[in-house]
A and B are shown apart, each in its own frame.
Chain A
Amino acid sequence: MTAEQPAPRRRRFDLFGFEVFRGLLAPCADDAFADVDAALAAGRNVRGSRDRRAVPDFLGRSAALSRGCSAARLEALAADLLGGPCVYLYGDASEIRGDTYWHSDTEDAASKDPRPADGSQARLVKFVLYDTPLDGSSGALRLLPGSHRAPAAYPTALFDPEDVPAHVLTVDPGDVIAFDPRSRHAALGGTVRRQIAIAYARRSQNAAAQDQLMSLVMADKTVL
């Protein structure tokens, strides 16, 4: 990448639906994932199945992660990517085993017309980081650039998961992927990995946008 300016970064996020921040949470990653291990081991308020055990509201349970997000000005980054003031939605941790099939987090809502009558659009961003290096063969997030604008135009279910021509986001611990949860995404060949996910939405400008945001959040399968 060449010179980094806020305007190109927002344009990239608008255009492709993702952005990678190398090393953004590296200062707190080890301590935050130690807290994930402790929370999973304790088993208190852990939900999900063997393939995906999740700790809801993890951000509120990890001082290390909370301090790290403040130091990295994560909410300001969300506002920069979404083009306006944001509200915090959730901050969860998960242990994931194996593959994640192709999907949009907001599958049902995204298949409907995403724009309220006034033309405004609810906007979301999900930040994720992992405890281990990941590439295309070990469970790295892969997505279809631009699919957040029209997820229904990308019928991934017609293909074997590995045949979908995806963009693989290789990461190291501390790297943070920001993506629009409406994007078509998956993870294949996955080893056991821990993930922290923190989501924000642009503050709604009117009742229609608020309704649309609520429907997107309620459709998000990762919201526990």
Chain B
Amino acid sequence: MTAAPHLLLEHFGFCVLPGAALPVLPDLEEGFAALLPDQETPATDRRTRFHAVEHAPGLAITGRVPELDDLLSRAGATSMVSSDVNVLVGDSYWHSDGFYDEGLYLRAVVYGEPTDAAGGALRVIPGSHRPEGGWQGEPVRQLMEHDRALGLRGDEIPATVLATRPGDVVVFHTNVLHSAWNGSRRRQWAWNFTRPPVTASERTAASQYVLNRFVSGTVRFS
């Protein structure tokens, strides 16, 4: 795609910055190895380490990847609220990372291994981040129960697959419906950004977002 990343992000909820993080990839690799050493647990376990940048400053990304800085600046999402590193295994079901009518919440991710449709690539439903698109409520429930409700496997849901190579940066609006299928073990670096809240309701939403980022996916603050 050649479309301006900020337009894709605003209107469809995602964009890819090809190779943008390649210059810092050695630092990311080193920080990852320090926080999630290879031999700690079986290769079949999903693992996460929060506060990644605080524990390994070499994992910082803002100010080091001009394409990402420019994108975040255009979106106004200049405040990094959390970071994490993950060993992902297997599938990730259809979901959004919470749904916020107010404020702006972005997640930037880099994968340590190539991903594609047959190998754990992130896939999104374009435009599903916008409240006026009508995706919230029953549509989300049906997506989460896709086998029973829709008669489709998760990887048969019509979506855009974001195939990546190490060093590519994927940025997505955390409202956007997303998933990953057919994945083997893959490393992921992730940074979460928000637009500094202005109104009281935006501050409340931002607080909920931050709490949710630090809590297991089984718990939600609403």
Shortest Cβ gap from A101 to chain B (Å): 16
- The 7 A-B residue pairs whose C-beta atoms are closest, nearest first, are A8-B151, A163-B3, A149-B134, A167-B158, A165-B160, A145-B158, A165-B126
Known A-B contacts A11-B149, A146-B128, A150-B132; A160 and B142 likewise in contact (beta carbons under 8 Å): no
Complex Cα distance, B2 from A126, in Å, reads: 32
**Of A71-79, A81-89, A151-159, which stretch is located at the interface?**
A151-159
A7-28: CB near B (< 8 Å → 1, else 0) gives: 0110110011000000000000
Q: Does B118 contact A (CB under 8 A)?
A: no
Chain A residues whose C-beta falls within 8 Å of the C-beta of B149 in the assembled complex: 8, 11
Given contacts A15-B139, A155-B11, A165-B160, contact A150 B133 (CB under 8 A): yes
How many angstroms from the CA of A135 to the CA of B102 in the assembled complex? 39
- Counting CB contacts under 8 A, is B8 at the interface? yes
Given A144-B127, A147-B127, A149-B134, does the pair A165, B8 have CB atoms closer than 8 Å?
yes
A146 touches B151 (CB 8 A): no
A residues less than 8 Å from B12 (CB atoms): 165
Interface residues of A (CB under 8 A from B): 1-5, 8-9, 11-12, 15-16, 144-147, 149-150, 152-155, 158-160, 163, 165, 167
Measured CB to CB, the residues of B under 8 A from A are: 1-3, 7-8, 11-12, 14, 125-128, 130, 132-135, 139, 142-143, 147, 149-153, 156, 158-160
Q: Which one of B8, B128, B134, B150 has the highest number of Cβ atoms from chain A below 10 Å of its Cβ? A: B150
Contact, CB under 8 Å: B7 / A158: yes
Interface contact A12-B2, CB-CB below 8 Å? no
Q: How far is the CB of A73 from chain B (nearest CB, A)?
A: 20
Q: Is the CB of B133 within 8 A of A146?
A: yes
Residues in B neighbouring A11, C-beta threshold 8 A: 142, 149-150
Instruction: Compute how far the CA of A9 lies from the CA of B149 in the bound complex, rounded to whole angstroms.
Output: 9
B8 to chain A: which residues have CB within 8 Å? 159, 163, 165
Q: How far is the CB of A133 from chain B (nearest CB, A)?
A: 20
- A165–B1 touching, CB < 8 Å: yes
Contact between B7 and A4 (Cβ–Cβ < 8 Å)? no
> In the complex the two chains form, is A149's CB within 8 Å of B133's CB?
yes
CB distance A2 to B133 under 8 Å? no
Q: Return the contact of B150 from the options A8, A144, A158, A163 (Cβ within 8 A).
A: A8
B158 cross-chain contacts in A, Cβ below 8 A: 16, 145, 167
- B147:A2 contact, CB within 8 angstroms: yes
Instruction: Identify which of B7, B139, B142, B151 contacts A159 (C-beta below 8 A).
Output: B7
- Asked whether B134 lies within 8 Å of A158 as measured between CB atoms, the reply is no
| A165 contact set on B, CB distance < 8 A | 1, 8, 12, 14, 126, 160
Q: How far is A4 from B151 in the complex, measured between Cα atoms in Å?
A: 7
Contact B139 A158 (CB under 8 A): no
Complex: A154 Cα to B125 Cα, angstroms:
12
The answer to whether A160 and B151 touch (CB under 8 A), given A16-B158, A146-B125, A154-B127, is no
A selection of 12 A-B contacts at a CB cut-off of 8 Å is A1-B152, A2-B151, A2-B152, A5-B151, A9-B151, A15-B142, A146-B128, A153-B132, A154-B11, A159-B3, A163-B1, A165-B126
How far, in Å, is B179 (CB) from chain A's closest CB? Answer: 14
Task: Name the residue of chain B whose CB is nearest to the CB of A159.
Answer: B3
B141 CB to closest chain A CB, in angstroms?
Answer: 11
Given contacts A144-B127, A145-B158, contact A3 B151 (CB under 8 A): yes
Docked complex Cα distance between A3 and B11 (Å): 34
Query: Given A150-B134, A153-B132: A144 and B126 within 8 A (CB)?
Result: yes
Q: B145: shortest Cβ distance to chain A, in Å? A: 10
Compute how far the CA of A87 lies from the CA of B1 in the bound complex, rounded to whole angstroms: 41
Please, which residue of chain A has its CB at the minimum distance from the CB of B149?
A11
Complex interface: chain A residues within 8 A of B147 (CB): 2
10 A-B pairs besides A150-B134, A155-B11, A163-B1 with CB distance below 8 A are: A4-B151, A8-B151, A11-B149, A15-B142, A150-B130, A153-B127, A154-B133, A158-B11, A160-B2, A167-B158
